């Protein structure tokens, strides 16, 4: 990883994340292009899912996907007559879903540990390398440990 690499959290329900993994794409903030423009080829993303399903109350509170931005292209796709979200191509890594709860005390981007959900309200934000490595080590470690 070069020093210019950035690390991003994208917030989406777990069902939407799994669709994105299947399609090899990232979409954020209701399809807005502006957050995606901040990402560059070879940056990394981690999806956080506060909910299992959009517009349903069942909590998830897990990091649900990890991947690498494949290129610098942003494209739109027509999903319906009134919805043309912007997307980025992502190579998702074979990671396991990981609960945020045991990581909260060690994550720098969560400054107020009691109101730990606050940063996720923005839907998309940059994190530092320490936080990325902490989360990714948990997501990828579980995956590789199961292969042994």
**CA separation, residue 76 to residues 56, 69, 111 (Å):** 27, 16, 35
DSSP classification of residue 83? B
pTM of the model: 0.91
> What is the Cα–Cα distance from 26 to 14, expressed in whole angstroms?
13
Write out pLDDT tens, residues 45-89: 999 999 999 888 899 999 999 999 999 999 999 989 999 999 999
Q: At 5, is the pLDDT very low, low, confident or very high (cuts 50, 70, 90)?
A: very high
44 in any annotated domain: yes
82 in any annotated domain: yes
26 in any annotated domain: yes
> What is the Cα–Cα distance from 69 to 90, expressed in whole angstroms?
5
Structural domain boundaries, residue 117 = 7-147
> What is the Cα–Cα distance from 11 to 5, expressed in whole angstroms?
20
Q: At 1, is the pLDDT very low, low, confident or very high (cuts 50, 70, 90)?
A: very low
73 in any annotated domain: yes
Share of residues in the chain with pLDDT > 90 (%): 86
> What is the Cα–Cα distance from 109 to 20, expressed in whole angstroms?
24
Question: In CATH, what number is assigned to the domain containing residue 78?
Answer: 3.10.590.10
Helix (H) or strand (E) holding 90: strand 86-92
DSSP classification of residue 60? E
The domain total for the chain is: 1
Q: How many CA atoms lie within 13 A of 42 on its CB side?
A: 5
92 in any annotated domain: yes
Mean pLDDT, to the nearest integer, of 125-140?
97
DSSP classification of residue 7? E
Burial class (CB in 10 A: 0-12, 13-18, 19+), 48: buried
> What is the Cα–Cα distance from 17 to 10, expressed in whole angstroms?
10
What pLDDT was estimated at residue 146?
45
2 in any annotated domain: no
Mean pLDDT, to the nearest integer, of 128-139?
97
Res. 114: pLDDT tops 80: yes
């Amino acid at each position: 990883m070069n020093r210019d690499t950035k690390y991003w959290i994208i917030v989406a329900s777990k069902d939407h994340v799994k669709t994105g993994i299947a399609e090899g794409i990232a979409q954020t903030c209701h399809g807005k292009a502006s957050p995606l423009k901040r990402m560059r080829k070879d940056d990394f993303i981690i999806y956080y899912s506060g909910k299992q399903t959009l517009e349903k109350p069942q909590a998830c509170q897990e990091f649900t996907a990890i991947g690498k931005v494949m290129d610098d292209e942003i494209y739109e796709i027509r999903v319906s007559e009134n919805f043309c979200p912007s997307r980025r191509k992502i190579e998702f890594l074979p990671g396991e879903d990981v609960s945020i709860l045991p990581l909260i005390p060690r994550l720098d981007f969560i400054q107020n540990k009691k109101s730990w959900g606050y940063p996720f309200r923005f839907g998309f934000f940059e994190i530092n390398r320490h936080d990325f490595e902490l989360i990714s080590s948990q997501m990828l470690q579980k995956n590789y440990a199961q292969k042994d």
